[in-house]
Structure formats: C-alpha cells, structure tokens
Amino acid sequence: MRGVLDVLCECHRRSFAYGDVKPANFLVCPDCDSAGGVSVRAVDFGCSRPVPLTQPCGSPLFMAPEMAGRRFGTAVDVWAAGVMLHILLVGRPPFWSNKSAEEAARLPAYAIVAATRTHDISYPRSDWGRLSREARQLVEAMLTRDPAARITAGDALAHPWFDRALGFSPARAAAAATAAQAEGERGAAAAAEAAIDGVVTFGQARVAAAACA
C-alpha cells in the first residue's frame, strides 16, 4: 500500500490525479535498489488528468462520492486507495459487507455511486476486531466523505499504521500469508506457487496485509 501512495504523491505533486486507482493497475516488481527488494509500479495512465477534474473517471467501485459533482481534485485518488486498502484488509469493499469485491463490481454504477454518497461505512467487529486500531483509523481517514477533510496521500504515508504493518519485511509478510493460508490444499498450493515464482496474487497480498495489520 505504501508503494501505491508513493505513486499518488508523485502524481499529486505534479498537480495530476491518477484517476483509476484499483488493484489491477499496480504491479509489484523486483527492485534490488528498493527497501525489501521490491517496488510498486503503476500502469494504465489513461485516466490521469491535471486537476481540477471535471469528468468522472475510473472504475465505479473505486469512485469517490464527489465525482457526482462538477469539479474534484486529487482527493479522489485517496478515496480509491482507501477502498483498495479496505478490500486488502477484510476481503470486501466498503458499503457491502455481504459481497466480495468481484460481486460488488458487477453492481450497476448508479447503485455504487448512490451508496458512496448516502450510506455509512460499517466496521463490524467480526472483520475489524482482529485488526489494529491504526489500520481502521487509516481506512476511515482515507474514506472520509468530505474531500476537504480527507487525509492526503502524503499524510497517509506518514500514518502510524505503516510503522506497525510495514515493520514486516516482504519476507515476513510472505511468511504471514503462507501461515494464514496453510489450512487446506488450496492455501498450501498458493503458498508453494508464490515461493517458486516470486509472484504475489492480489488474494495473497490481501492475506498478508491482514496478517500484518
């Protein structure tokens, strides 16, 4: 997640919004010069625009509520990253505690937009009770409905959650994912595949993020 926010900070420093923050648009790549030996790279800058933006952009599930208006800025990226972090931590998007991200993404766009503008996000103990207070605080700050009050990408990077979660090295995070997935043949096979080819799927990243939170 820190790599995603690094990308957003650089875009925002140049007065650009990335415009389409979602898991599919970020790649984890080997990088010997980076801490931990990996780096996060963004792909598909087709929705990137200078701010202020005047047209909605991105995938409906990750669109900020202010996109229903006429002008919006870089805060839309932070909201989308908050949705991404929410999914990483609990396996479901905000507003739909009974749906997976894949199921919610198939909802009509108008239903998704209406939910982001009018529904409150719930944080059931069954999901969040096992996570740290800092993890929830960061998600809440990134998913603040008022864009003026929403945390910036730079301030999100400085959030105490990263001191806790990213104290895990990539090797320790991978070990956490392996341990969490060890039950059942599917988890064991996924862990073995990750160990062989070095590629981490979004599902494995979600398990590791939750384990570190």
Catalytic residues: 20
Sequence-separated (6 or more) residues with CB below 8 Å from residue 91: 100, 101, 206, 210
10 Å CB burial of residue 60 (0-12, 13-18, 19+) is middle
Residue 66 to residue 60: CA distance in whole angstroms? 12
Q: Distances from the Cα of 205 to the Cαs of 91, 184, 186, in angstroms?
A: 11, 18, 15
- DSSP letter at 53 equals B
Least Cα distance to 78 among 163, 159, 133, 175 occurs for 159
CB 2 within 8 A of CB 161: no
Alpha-carbon distance 19 to 180, whole Å?
33
3-state class (DSSP) for residue 72:
strand
Measured CA to CA, the distance from residue 49 to residue 53 in angstroms comes to 7
* 62 in Cβ contact with 83 (< 8 Å): yes
